[in-house]
Structure 1
Amino acid sequence: MSIDVTTEGHVTVITINRPEARNALDPQHNKALGEAVAAFEADDDQYVAVLVGAGEVAFSAGADLKQLLPAYHARVRAGESPEWNFGGFTTIQRTKPMIAAINGHALAGGCEMALACDIRLASPNATIGLAETKWAIIPGGGGTVRLPRAVPLGLAMEMILTGDPIDAAEAYRVGLVNRLIDSDKLLGEAVALAKTIAERGPLAVRAARASTLEGTGRPEIEALENEFRHFIAALRTEDAEEGFTAFVEKRPPVYKGR
């Protein structure tokens, strides 16, 4: 049982390795996942990350209902306001893209972690949902914020209020996941996509990601002005100059993140 971290070039793969508990997070795994995500964010040589759960049954069932959730409940009942962050996904200010490889059930906090990723790929046996109202609580890791931004409001409201999940086919139909990929190929396809993104200018990728997220919900003129600021900043980088030079010289660019 662990949070496993491997790297392939500029790509980090973070695996929640607790399949016997459907990759639910107890306090130790919650802390270790947060450390892994923070380490990826801080490593200048790592550009894109893939998050996956061990095995083929579950991406993650979220909080461990026998350990993590009761510990938080006790602290709240004692008058405290503890941090509820699912490995830092709702508190770490990430600048780099992450891909969720949803190999099975992504429920409650597992769904929230997938929603916090920028791109979601899923196996055909995946189910995705926010089950918290079944336990008389609400999603507290970004679920009520991110799900309505990812799917139509009516569907998001139905999923949130009933706690019932949708299957992989429906998730693909409504755009919650980008692709459906056979379980035995899912991680490989996710890493391949991550490597494709990692080949692009890393500073440009981060700026484009930031502009996209920051523009969501803003008035159009504000979003355009913000986009232009990111555009000018990207033009000033050494990578942009390298990109133009490589195009003229008809060779692959060599980006350095500067």
Structure 2
Amino acid sequence: VAYEEMEVLMQLVGYANTLEILFEGRMLDSAHALRIGLVNRVVADEQVAQNVLDSARTIAEGAPLVARWHKKFARRLLNPAPLSTKERDESFHCFDTKDFQIGYQAFLAKKKPEFTGQ
């Protein structure tokens, strides 16, 4: 396993679990993979397609700008360097979006928001 591959695996499951996987070289069952954080959930084979569709629908119905920021922030936090003031300030930019107002109003009205990506 190359450094880049091992780095991703260590970020997912940690040092000890990475070495266990690499040294033992055995197949992991779904329960083990779930327990060590290699997968987020386990579903029955016949439920995989529906589960994927449900997850995709849930994500698609969310606020796209915030999802983009969260993805960016999560990637950035993989870097151990301290955050800059500019990076910290960016986390508050969502409050200036139309989607924030839509979400806020929907929350107050106890309704489902319909985000526009603005």
Aligned to 2:109: 249
Aligned to 1:110: none
Aligned to 2:69: 207
Matched, 1:222 2:83: yes
**Counterpart residue identity of residue 222, structure 1:** L
Higher helix share: 2
**SS of structure 1 residue aligned to 2:76:** helix
TM-score using structure 2 length: 0.80
2:17–2:36: 8 Å Cα contact kept in structure 1? no
- Which of residues 98, 106, 115 is equivalent to 1:238? 98
Matched, 1:181 2:43: yes
Aligned to 1:150: 12
**Counterpart residue identity of residue 107, structure 2:** F
Kindly tell me the number of residue pairs found equivalent between the two proteins. Answer: 118
2:34–2:40: 8 Å Cα contact kept in structure 1? yes
Structure 1: stretches of 5+ with no match in the other structure:
1-137
Structure 2: stretches of 5+ with no match in the other structure:
none
Measured after TM superposition, the shift of residue 146 of structure 1 is: 0.8
Written as runs of structure 1 = structure 2, the 5 A alignment for 1:73-84 is none
**Counterpart residue identity of residue 12, structure 2:** A
Change in 2 beyond 3 A, CA 1:215/1:160: same
Measured after TM superposition, the shift of residue 163 of structure 1 is: 4.2
Higher strand share: 1
TM-score using structure 1 length: 0.40
RMSD: 2.5
**SS of structure 2 residue aligned to 1:212:** helix
Structure 1 runs of 4+ off > 6 angstroms?
Answer: none
What percentage of residue pairs aligned between the two structures are identical?
Answer: 25
1:211–1:230: 8 Å Cα contact kept in structure 2? no
**Counterpart residue identity of residue 15, structure 2:** L
Ranked by relative contact order (alpha carbons within 8 Å, sequence separation 6 or more), the top structure is 2
